[in-house]
Structure 1
Amino acid sequence: MGTQKPDVAIVGAGVMGLMTAYYLRQQGATVTVLEKGRLPAGSSYGNAGLIVPSHLQPLCSPGNVKEGVRHLLNSTGPFSIALSANPRRWVWLGRFVRHSTKGHVRYAVGIFKELADRSLELHDALAQGAGSAYEYDRSGILCLYETRNAFLAAIKDAEELTRAGRPARVLDAHEVRERIPFVGRSILGGVLQEPDGRLNPAAFVSWLAEQVRRAGGHILEETEVYGATLAGFQLRELKTTRGPVKADQFVLAAGAWTGRLAAMMGRRLPVEAAKGFSITYEKPAAASCVPLLLEEARVAVTPFAHALRLAGVLELCGLDDRLSARRIEAMERDLLRTLPGLAPLKVKEIWRGFRPCTPDGLPYIGRLQRLRNAVVATGHATKGIFLAPVTGRLSADLLAGDSLDPLLCKALDPQRAAR
């Protein structure tokens, strides 16, 4: 390709790949990042941009399995599972259901708390250097509830969050309307999760790419990986649409496509794609200063400087990128039912993308099975934009030869996928 062999080649220029490159350059490693599309793109582009230290539950949980079954035949439900003839999908779903227990949820929450604490600290440090470049703000997230049972459960959760050092303030319907005058009469109350916040994800990815390039890293866009050359337990070369790429070490951070990359190397890595959607509107006259979570609809409403984004839905459907008009219409109905004062809204962009999900709900961060010079960084489901800094730092440390905390190493090890 006409470039000098780097210390590390990274597949994927989303937030995981770019954060890893950012910290590797801080350590002095030479880095080349490969991206099959143009920046910013993928799930790192169109998501809600939420900073969520208060959201520690894994995707696999008894409640989500119950909801997935309930919406099995509902193409517009907030969480759905598409049936498939693909036997690997059934194996993945079987493991997902087996991990959806209260005991595993408690275990995963403990791991996510450790990751969240570290990532929040790193996010704050990054934002100090970035200024207003990507609209980082931690003024809280307001969760809104329409049903009595959900609101009562949220009150108990708020008490637990506060005891755990994550202050959560319960608001009755009147207090919600004082803060958000455009909410509908269906809203019974809310919970303000005070440590949380948001950023503009596309601006964040662009800022990261600029930092990597300024530090001497190379980012090759429109460069797709289609094969690999191995020698024993070493990955020697990636075959790309712009020629071969050699490196001493490699990072697979291609989101929902990481499982396919691993398969090119003869390694099994169960990553399932969960399709999500977002609708970005021109900024309306009425808008909240903080992101809103419409809990029953399972959608987020994120204000940016010049836009408003409605994002949500989880479709476990493989890499099927079809756009459903019924799905988009259902999201907008939920939005205008709960927040009628936002109307009229003018659409700027409708987006869909894939979140990488693991069967036990925890990300893969570690060496790929029987490949000594390949690190995996994927599987963050809906927490990717928030957990990107800690993932990048951990991945860079692994590549530098440092050891992870034993508890995190065991919990995040990609080799657990083969057990």
Structure 2
Amino acid sequence: MGLMTAYYLAGEGAAVTVLEKGRLPAGSSYGNAGLIVPSHLQPLCSPGNVREGLRHLLNPTGPFSIHLSPNLRRWAWLAGFVRNSTAAHVNYAAGVYRELAERSLALHDELARKAGSVYEYAREGLLCLYETRQALEAAAREAEELTRAGRPARILDERAVREMVPAAAPSVIGGVLQEPDGKLQPAAFVSWLADQVRRAGGHILEETEVFGASFAGKAVRRLQTTKGPVEADQVVLAAGAWTGRVAAMLGRPLPVEAAKGFSITYDRPSGAPSLPLLLEEARVAVTPFADSLRLAGVLELAGLDDRLSSARIHAMERDLRRSLPGLGSLKVREVWRGFRPCTPDGLPFIGRLRRPQNVWVATGHATKGIFLGPVTGELTARLLSGSPPDSALLKALHPNR
């Protein structure tokens, strides 16, 4: 989100400095599945996810788990999450996401025309695979709704799935091809973005962590960092899962919780699929890249706890082998974990804080970050330049809501 905002601001001639506490590409912008998903508009908070979280509450390898703790802020966040997990709110949030998705998809296409094949952008569809009749029938109904809404989704029987994914197990009984969807290589995308920011005159300070701020009246005037003080007229807070912590440092705590996710990257096997897959029952994504294959998933509400669980990794690999036994030999290249920034109502925070009055926020996209990065950057840049979009959208995304 920070790089995308810097990209659009620098393109308008603004003097931009990006502060990155690690080295680029980093964080969830590095290790995610790289999916472009205009077909997936539901917010994280939904009745189904609450049921899933309760069902796996004591299961350390479940696809969606909640770690209980004495942290009162997390309990308050969970209360808001449950309160917003209603059918009415899901419909409302999906409408907001639809507006963001349409614009972000157009911007992704535009960026890819500029970048060429640098980060393997392709929109050849996303295939969702199902192993139970009930889940497939529900997906088929949703596919019909998506098609009526202008986002084509094709229902595939077992034979058609096998033709597209020869590695699929006999237990896979069908699938839904989300035709507008696609993928990109996230680390390469982030690296390309950083290069574009630098070429436009922007500065990127890596290994630079913010630990304090100085104020002048109601505004932040200087950030204290591990590389010395940095002055700014305007500050964009796009710190991902650390946004709540940094916002509190600036005097305005925000309810952003970290949801840990995992990925395993393999050398590309002989039986790799030609397009990205979602193994729906396992709730994991399988994304093929030029020389690798990435397995990504799990949503673990556990705060900023970066411990790796061998049981969790083994469970993901078992799911992969069960659903796609024909992949061939798998050689692990990297095991990764990172944190998704999540809000209690499932919608991102994009807008200006009431106080400090020169601090803007762009975060909270949960599992949709790589897809919604372009529209978030463009929207934040427009806000900073004084040309805001539709007020109803701003109200839905406002960090003070």
Instruction: Tell me the TM-score range normalised by the shorter chain.
Output: over 0.9
What is aligned with 2:378?
393
What is aligned with 2:182?
197
- Tell me, in whole angstroms, the C-alpha distance in 1 between the residues paired with 2:12 and 2:201: 12
What is aligned with 1:53?
38
- Tell me, in whole angstroms, the C-alpha distance in 2 between the residues paired with 1:237 and 1:104: 39
Cα deviation for residue 404 of structure 1 reads: 2.8
What is aligned with 2:102?
117
Is residue 345 from structure 1 mapped to residue 327 from structure 2 by the alignment?
Answer: no
Cα deviation for residue 232 of structure 1 reads: 2.4
Cα deviation for residue 204 of structure 1 reads: 0.1
C-alpha contact 2:251 2:356 (8 A) present in aligned 1: no
What is aligned with 1:32?
17
SS of 1:398's partner is helix
Question: 1:218-274 CA distances to partner (integer Å, 9 max, x unpaired)?
Answer: 000010000111222211111000100001101000100011110001102000000
Cα deviation for residue 407 of structure 1 reads: 1.0
* Paired AA for residue 394 in structure 1: L
Gapped runs of 5+ residues in structure 2? none
Q: 1:366 aligns with which of 347, 351, 355?
A: 351
User: Please, which moves more after superposition, 347-356 or 398-407?
Assistant: 398-407
What is aligned with 1:405?
390
- Tell me, in whole angstroms, the C-alpha distance in 2 between the residues paired with 1:405 and 1:18: 24
C-alpha contact 1:78 1:313 (8 A) present in aligned 2: yes
SS of 1:414's partner is coil
- Tell me, in whole angstroms, the C-alpha distance in 2 between the residues paired with 1:157 and 1:307: 31
SS of 2:252's partner is coil
Question: 1:83-125 CA distances to partner (integer Å, 9 max, x unpaired)?
Answer: 0110100000000000000000000000000000000000000
What is aligned with 1:287?
272
Q: 1:297 aligns with which of 261, 276, 282?
A: 282
* Paired AA for residue 327 in structure 2: L
- Report matched runs for 1:311-350 at 5 Å: 311-350=296-335
C-alpha contact 1:336 1:343 (8 A) present in aligned 2: no
Is residue 102 from structure 1 mapped to residue 87 from structure 2 by the alignment?
Answer: yes
Cα deviation for residue 192 of structure 1 reads: 0.2
What is aligned with 1:250?
235
Is residue 273 from structure 1 mapped to residue 232 from structure 2 by the alignment?
Answer: no
Cα deviation for residue 405 of structure 1 reads: 1.0
C-alpha contact 1:274 1:318 (8 A) present in aligned 2: yes
C-alpha contact 2:32 2:186 (8 A) present in aligned 1: yes
Gapped runs of 5+ residues in structure 1? 1-15
What is aligned with 1:183?
168
SS of 2:368's partner is helix
Question: 1:181-235 CA distances to partner (integer Å, 9 max, x unpaired)?
Answer: 1100110100000000000000000000000011110000010000111222211
SS of 2:95's partner is helix
- Tell me, in whole angstroms, the C-alpha distance in 2 between the residues paired with 1:98 and 1:347: 41
Cα deviation for residue 369 of structure 1 reads: 3.0
Cα deviation for residue 372 of structure 1 reads: 1.7
* Paired AA for residue 409 in structure 1: L
What is aligned with 2:56?
71
What is aligned with 2:153?
168
- Tell me, in whole angstroms, the C-alpha distance in 2 between the residues paired with 1:118 and 1:400: 19
What is aligned with 1:235?
220
- Tell me, in whole angstroms, the C-alpha distance in 2 between the residues paired with 1:229 and 1:386: 34
SS of 2:59's partner is coil
- Tell me, in whole angstroms, the C-alpha distance in 2 between the residues paired with 1:204 and 1:241: 27
C-alpha contact 1:230 1:265 (8 A) present in aligned 2: no
RMSD: 0.6
Cα deviation for residue 403 of structure 1 reads: 2.0
Question: 1:165-191 CA distances to partner (integer Å, 9 max, x unpaired)?
Answer: 000000001110011111001101000
Q: 2:208 aligns with which of 220, 223, 227?
A: 223
- Tell me, in whole angstroms, the C-alpha distance in 2 between the residues paired with 1:342 and 1:288: 8
* Paired AA for residue 137 in structure 1: A
Cα deviation for residue 287 of structure 1 reads: 1.2
Cα deviation for residue 401 of structure 1 reads: 1.6
Cα deviation for residue 409 of structure 1 reads: 0.7
- Tell me, in whole angstroms, the C-alpha distance in 2 between the residues paired with 1:181 and 1:211: 39
* Paired AA for residue 226 in structure 1: F
Q: % of aligned pairs identical?
A: 74
Stretches of 4+ aligned residues off by more than 4 angstroms: none
Question: 1:130-170 CA distances to partner (integer Å, 9 max, x unpaired)?
Answer: 00000000000000001111000000000000000000000
Is residue 415 from structure 1 mapped to residue 400 from structure 2 by the alignment?
Answer: yes
Give the length in aligned residue pairs: 401
- Tell me, in whole angstroms, the C-alpha distance in 2 between the residues paired with 1:328 and 1:343: 19
User: Please, which moves more after superposition, 42-51 or 232-241?
Assistant: 232-241
- Tell me, in whole angstroms, the C-alpha distance in 2 between the residues paired with 1:305 and 1:341: 19
